[in-house]
A and B are shown apart, each in its own frame.
Chain A
Amino acid sequence: MSGIAEAGTKAASFRLWIGGAAGDGIAAAGQSYIKACARSGLQVYAYNSYESVIRGGHVLFMAEAGTQKPCLQSSSCDILIALNQETIDREGPRAGKGVLFNSDRLRVDSSRLQSGARALGLPCGQLAQNPLMQNSAALGAAAFLAGLDMDVLAELLRETFKKKTTAVIEGNILAARAGHGYAVAHFGDSAVPVSGDGKRRMVLSGNEAMAFGAVAAGCKFFSAYPMTPASSIMHWLAPRAAAYSMVFKQTEDEIAAINMAIGASVAGVRAMTATSGGGFALMTEGLGLSGMIEAPLVVVEVQRGGPSTGLPTRSEQGDLFQILGASQGDYPKIILAPTGVEDAFYTMGEAFNLAERFQLPVVVLSDLILAEHRETVDDLNAALPIDRGVWAQNSGSGQDGFKRYAVTSNGVSPRAAPGQAGFIHVAASDEHDEEGRLISDVHPDPAMRKAMMDKRMRKLDSAAEALRPEVLEGPADADLTLVSWGSSCGAARHVMRCLNEGRKTRVNFLPIRNLHPFRSEEVLAILKRAKRVMAIEENYTAQLCRLIRMETGFDIVRRWLKYDGDPFDPEASVRRAEEALHD
């Protein structure tokens, strides 16, 4: 045994997978591990592939930690921690260095492993006082193999188990130290130590970034009905709402969720709801109400595989046209799709400002992979700018006649909320005049109807101007321009990084963050300059390509599409881009 790898042989990254059954505590173990990496100055990307069962389904936690942040999950690992036989059989052949397993009750057939990979049996019965602590023993061993400081892991286990008894906390730490010690003594050849830069980073999921973003943006009302994969926004906000003067309301259905948020908005607070595609389908009429009465609203839609119940725990980007077409009639709305975890945080801040400045619904479109994968973020500036838009000032006359829907040059009319003296009005879902009086049935007024439609739709012109510009990433000139949105931006960035290695300028990348209104001229100018264009998205009908053609007339013919529910495979994505470079 050679012990710890020699100086100068540090790897750029270490890929650890943990596999087992749902209920084996994989998510908690994985979270402790990646936090230990993030505290050790490493950059991390982790994705937990799970099935919608409480106990029993196959779960695979995939983490990569290194000096450069990975853009998506890896398709193979250095070390696999296998908590059951199924994991050894399914995932064992994908481990390059070895498989860590409890040798008291599992067996690894070394002939089925890659050459160079070892069966790393841990006698957990000796190492841990209690079979429940086997994960900690395995984590201790993994910490050694990754070159992590055991004390950092011990500190995290103490935090993870802080609500348990001292015996449980100390037992887990002892098991981890024993696992670490055992690995030092027996697994030195399999170590892939990486060293970080010393910066203590945050590690968070897209949903956590959005929930934090909502709090930092001053959201004071959140209503939602549980639906995977949006629910973890609720799980993060529910216990914290009171501390930030926010009311959280779990509702009887998604129809109630969106209407409660609209009611709260009318009462003058920043309000939000969150759901997935099926729940959003129920919200569509409410979205139109928000547009019609000009009540600012933020709706988070975290996509999963559709249609119908579809793939509840698998990712897809198949809801773009549902959002674009949601609700009857023409009305202004904004659709933003963050391109990563950090972007998800800042996009929430922008969404609340846009909703209030233009008094309309803003849909923030996410997807399961963006929502649930975790990655390191250096820092977030939580002092977000807050722009509440135009409000009726001073005390009004106290008489009827406040023009809540006054026709203005940019379509935005000063708002007022109940409790404000002098600005009494009705926010009406029927077509109405400037004062909010109905002109729908009894007193039809075609000229006023047209003026109101024009006023509302006009808001989109200034909203388009107010959106963050779309920016090309990578070299200004390249042989291939990738176009993508949402979590698929990870695959595009990975391809760009791989194909541009050695300072090459083969690939650049255009992430589309603003889906509606579409910054057509800007996007078209970039696409027209491109030599070859390929879109990467996770749906059957290339929905982003269809949108781009609709908005710009530009047809992206090279498409790398996926709709099997799994994330993009990094190597296959690179191969597809190589083909596009030579077709």
Chain B
Amino acid sequence: MTSPSPAAVKAEDFRSETKPDWCPSCGNFGVLNAVEKACAALGLANKDVLCVSGIGCSSNLPGFLKAYGLHGIHGRALPLATGAKLANPALTVIAVGGDGDGYGIGMGHFIHAMRRNLNLTYLVMNNEIYGLTTGQASPTTMKGTMTKSTPEGCIENPINPIALALAAGASFVARAFCGDIAHMASLVTQAIEHKGFSLVDCLSPCVTFNKVNTYPWFRQRVYKLEDSGHDASNFSAAMTRAMESPGRFPIGVFYRSSGIRAYEDLDSTLSRGTTPAAAKLSLSGKASEAIKESFR
């Protein structure tokens, strides 16, 4: 199948007939919108996109995108996406989910997926709260924030996903804000284009359960890295910018490495150009005889 040309593909072509069930003005609408725009900008064919998620409000996103979807279990979006990509590297695989899903229960997979550097795109809708379960503290909840599970204020330090991603070896690290969809769409486009693991931490306000980290709150704190002379090829500079939060939230590309080879270029099977999904199943007589002889 040939892919349609970019000009022919519109963002609406990626919009499912199923309407999102998010609260009105939820930040996740912005991410959905940005994904549609990015897929259209890259001229992707719907059938070749697989959107994989875990569980949470944001993990419902695959149901609202016109693409193949895999809506998995809590915290496991990245292993599911990894398996799909390894089985069929021709697919564009986009993993999505929330901060609880990715930085909480799924943290182990998050770190390993980044050091592995498989060509996946991971969009984390970070609202600093557990929304679907009606408002408990999440791994990114700021210290002191009162939630249903932290009635006297959160006493744990929040995770810094950008700094973690840099330390774990992610080859593309960015942050976007749902209040600026055009900018977010550009970042998602670059993330998909990047050959290797790409993280976009998406600041996505929860308008129902998080009355602290609101759109106006973020607007006062975000600034664009590209407007501030940041060099995204400089790892140390990226780390310095990553440590600015929570006081300020730089958005844009923190770090982009072209020097780290993607997993599929190193894997002994995929580097031969093999597509497991297209491979013949049965063994040749010669191959099976060779195996049998090895046991004799």
- B84 and A264 form a contact (CB under 8 A): yes
- A425 and B68 form a contact (CB under 8 A): yes
Given contacts A263-B81, A382-B291, contact A201 B296 (CB under 8 A): yes
In the complex the two chains form, what is the Cα distance from A64 to B261 in whole Å? 51
Contacts of B88 in A (CB 8 A): 267-269, 417-419
Contacts of B269 in A (CB 8 A): 241-242, 245-248
Q: Name the contact of A268 in the complex, choosing from B63, B86, B87 (C-beta under 8 A).
A: B87
CB closest residue in chain B, given A438? B63
Given contacts A263-B82, A264-B87, A418-B84, contact A256 B292 (CB under 8 A): no
In the complex the two chains form, what is the Cα distance from A38 to B293 in whole Å? 12
Cβ < 8 Å to A, chain B residues 185-223? none
Q: Give the secondary structure class of B's interface.
A: mixed
Q: Name the contact of B280 in the complex, choosing from A245, A264, A380 (C-beta under 8 A).
A: A245
B8 within 8 A of A: no
Contacts of B91 in A (CB 8 A): 267, 418-419
Q: Mark B241-264, 1 if CB is under 8 A from A, else 0.
A: 000000000000000000000000
Contacts of B153 in A (CB 8 A): none
Contacts of B291 in A (CB 8 A): 212, 215, 382
In the complex the two chains form, what is the Cα distance from A297 to B84 in whole Å? 13
Report 5 cross-chain contacts, Cβ distance below 8 Å, ordered by A residue: A221-B83, A244-B287, A269-B87, A400-B16, A423-B47
Contacts of B111 in A (CB 8 A): 252
B234 within 8 A of A: no
Stretch at the interface among A202-210, A461-469, A517-525: A202-210
Q: Beyond the given A200-B296, A421-B47, A437-B18, could you list 16 further A-B residue pairs with CB under 8 A, ordered by the A residue number?
A: A208-B295, A217-B281, A218-B282, A220-B276, A223-B83, A245-B274, A247-B269, A252-B109, A260-B86, A266-B83, A268-B277, A293-B70, A419-B90, A419-B91, A422-B47, A424-B47
Q: Mark A441-457, 1 if CB is under 8 A from B, else 0.
A: 11100000000000000
Q: Mark B150-168, 1 if CB is under 8 A from A, else 0.
A: 0000000000000000000
Contacts of A180 in B (CB 8 A): none
Contacts of A269 in B (CB 8 A): 87-88, 276-277, 279
Contacts of A443 in B (CB 8 A): 21
Which 3 pairs between the two chains have the least Cβ-Cβ distance?
A: A263-B83, A218-B281, A426-B69
Q: Give the secondary structure class of A's interface.
A: mixed
- Band of interface residues on A: 35 or more
In the complex the two chains form, what is the Cα distance from A203 to B63 in whole Å? 51
Cβ < 8 Å to A, chain B residues 71-87? 71-73, 76, 79-87
- B276 and A245 form a contact (CB under 8 A): yes
Contact residues of A with B, CB < 8 Å?
A: 35, 38-39, 200-204, 208, 212, 215-218, 220-221, 223, 241-249, 251-253, 255-257, 259-271, 285-286, 288-289, 293, 377, 379-380, 382-384, 386, 388, 400, 417-430, 436-438, 441-443
- In whole Å, how far is A383's beta carbon from the nearest beta carbon of chain B? 7
CB closest residue in chain A, given B105? A255
- A263 and B69 form a contact (CB under 8 A): no
CB closest residue in chain A, given B68? A418
Contacts of B48 in A (CB 8 A): 418-419
In the complex the two chains form, what is the Cα distance from A208 to B295 in whole Å? 9
Contacts of B79 in A (CB 8 A): 251, 255-257, 259-260, 263
Q: Mark B73-116, 1 if CB is under 8 A from A, else 0.
A: 10010011111111110110000000000000000110110000
- B283 and A267 form a contact (CB under 8 A): no
- B69 and A428 form a contact (CB under 8 A): yes
Contacts of A246 in B (CB 8 A): 269, 276
- B83 and A260 form a contact (CB under 8 A): yes
Contacts of A201 in B (CB 8 A): 296
In the complex the two chains form, what is the Cα distance from A382 to B18 in whole Å? 47
- B69 and A427 form a contact (CB under 8 A): yes
- B71 and A427 form a contact (CB under 8 A): yes
CB closest residue in chain B, given A352? B281
Given contacts A208-B295, A212-B291, A286-B73, contact A249 B82 (CB under 8 A): yes
Q: Name the contact of A202 in the complex, choosing from B280, B281, B296 (C-beta under 8 A).
A: B296
In the complex the two chains form, what is the Cα distance from A103 to B58 in whole Å? 73
- B83 and A262 form a contact (CB under 8 A): yes
- B277 and A262 form a contact (CB under 8 A): no
